[in-house]
Amino acid sequence: QQQVKQSPQSLIVQKGGISIINCAYENTAFDYFPWYQQFPGKGPALLIAIRPDVSEKKEGRFTISFNKSAKQFSLHIMDSQPGDSATYFCAAGYIRNAGNNRKLIWGLGTSLAVNP
Amino acid sequence: DVKVTQSSRYLVKRTGEKVFLECVQDMDHENMFWYRQDPGLGLRLIYFSYDVKMKEKGDIPEGYSVSREKKERFSLILESASTNQTSMYLCASSPGNAGAYEQYFGPGTRLTVT
């Protein structure tokens, strides 16, 4: 299966709270799991990414937790701020058969609003 | 910084018109992509290219074609625009091999077909 299922579709969090967005996948060939952040009027931008040989990666207030056995990964935003309000996309990458090319399969996105 | 530019931020076209969306990247990336973004449907891949003059269909290629004559430029063509092609179009690029997963996006072109 080449799908990546993302939840929730939308999320409202109070300033200072923890935002959690979850993604699940089926294909065990995926070898790269990035999260992209998109602000209104802008294109998505890579926020943080993890490889399946690691269970957690932290960059500032953003943490990816990865559960290989459950085929799930999640983004945690600690001390959420109004400036974090954006759409977040998870994705999963795999190497295509021909030419060692790499492709991303995208989740549908989560709209996060952080109230002041 | 990697920069991906798209020719227009907003575009209004009439049904049946031929529409060209241009994308240019300045980081010598091998890979380029065209997506459309619609509410609730996420990012859907239209076409991608791993090399000059090379193109491959993505998930929703119907009604679209592409051209990549130079490494830095990737064009999306709507041969005969229809109202169901009203959408936000995003171009992206990425380096080859191990870096290929890291896609850099342009700001998008919001196309309205009336």
**Res B4 pLDDT > 90:** yes
Which of left, alpha, beta for B103 (phi over 0: left; psi -120 to 50: alpha)?
A: beta
CA of B96: which chain A residue's CA is closest? A101
**Does residue B93 sit at the A interface (CB-CB below 8 Å)?**
no
Instruction: For residue A109, give both structure tokens.
Output: 């996105």
| Chain A residues inside the 8 Å CB shell of B43 | 44, 89, 106, 109
Instruction: Indicate the residue type of B107.
Output: P
pLDDT at A100 exceeding the cut of 90: no
B96 has pLDDT over 90: no
Can you give the C-alpha Rg of chain B in angstroms? 13
Query: What CA dihedral angle connects B70, B71, B75 and B79, to 10 degrees?
Result: 60
Cβ-nearest to A99 among B50, B90, B104: B50
Whole-number Å distance between alpha carbons of B69 and B4? 17
Tell me the per-residue pLDDT of B80-89, one tens digit each, with 9 for 90 and over.
Answer: 999 999 999 9
Pairwise CA distance, residues A33 & A89, whole Å? 11
Token pair 């937790």: residue: A65
